[in-house]
Amino acid sequence: MAIIASNFKTNHTRKSTAAFIEEVNTFLKEKNITNEVLVFPTATSLDSFNTVSNLTVGAQNAYATQKGSFTGEIGTEQLDEFNIKTILIGHSERRHILGESQEEIAKKFNFYKELGYTIVYCIGEPLEVKEQGIEQTLEYIYEQFVGIDTNYENLILAYEPVWAIGTGVTATNDDIKAVHSAIKEKISKPLLYGGSVKVANVHEICSLDGVDGALIGTASWLVEDFKQIIENTK
């Protein structure tokens, strides 16, 4: 049984998100699929889905607060309203585009851990680090665990090499196996792979040793493709 997660990033409207989630929910029920399926829509589309039973809806981001003066952010008061108890933390776009430091990420992690949220925690190296070799890659990744409780019971990890995200370039099976086996030796938590996963390669990737599922951006945004991805990994 694989864990399959879709990250909408800044795509889909409330209307299209609602239709997507309803269709996937019905599909899971009708096909009797036992994969754990998570969907991370935009913050504006988090409402109304607390009744779906076959998949989990999570937040792509939220601030480490219940409420307060943090312009542009949401906190647990807003997440509670929609019964959201799952959050993505450490995604490479938040680290590298939005400039979140490891310290901020760890603070967020600890805040949501204290509240018992399921945390999908992302790690991964940029291209210039990958090019230095596996030792440097692992060293870089281990730095992304500073301040993070890797024994937290509701933790799911996602290895997402930055150079593979949204680029169409998937890591090779050997790349994935090398990083996954090293992380698995240290941390016994579900570990997803993310980075240009698509309908055509998801089965092979999810069959690799040490891969417990996939976190998918681009290839998950069309509902037919997402259903096929789930079907290919059931």
Binding residue ranges: 7-9, 166, 196
| Helix, strand, coil share of the chain (percent; to 5) | 40, 15, 45
Kindly give, in sequence order, each residue whose CB lies less than 8 Å from that of residue 138, ignoring residues fewer than 6 positions away.
179, 182
Q: Which of residues 20-79 bind ligand PEP (CB under 6 A)?
A: none
Minimum CB separation from ligand PEP for residue 9, in Å? 6
* Catalytic (active site) residue 91: yes
Q: Which of residues 215-234 bind ligand PEP (CB under 6 A)?
A: 215-219
Q: What are phi and psi of 132, to 5 degrees?
A: -85, -10
* Binding residue for ligand PEP, selected from 100, 125, 160, 212, defined by CB under 6 A: 160
Residue 194 vs 213, nearer CB to ligand PEP: 194
Q: CA-CA distance, 87 to 89, in Å (whole number)?
A: 6
Q: Per CB under 6 A, which region of 52-60, 131-139, 148-156, 213-221 contacts ligand PEP?
A: 213-221
Q: CA torsion, points 159, 162, 166, 172, in degrees to nearest 10?
A: -60
Tokens matching residue 193 = 């792979």
Tell me which DSSP letter residue 47 carries: T
* Catalytic (active site) residue 160: yes
**Residue 175 touches ligand PEP, criterion: CB under 6 A:** no
* Binding residue for ligand PEP, selected from 149, 166, 181, 209, defined by CB under 6 A: 166
CB atoms within 10 A of CB 191: 22
Q: Which residues are catalytic?
A: 91, 160
Residues that bind ligand PEP in the complex, under the rule CB under 6 A: 7, 9, 160, 165-166, 194-197, 215-219
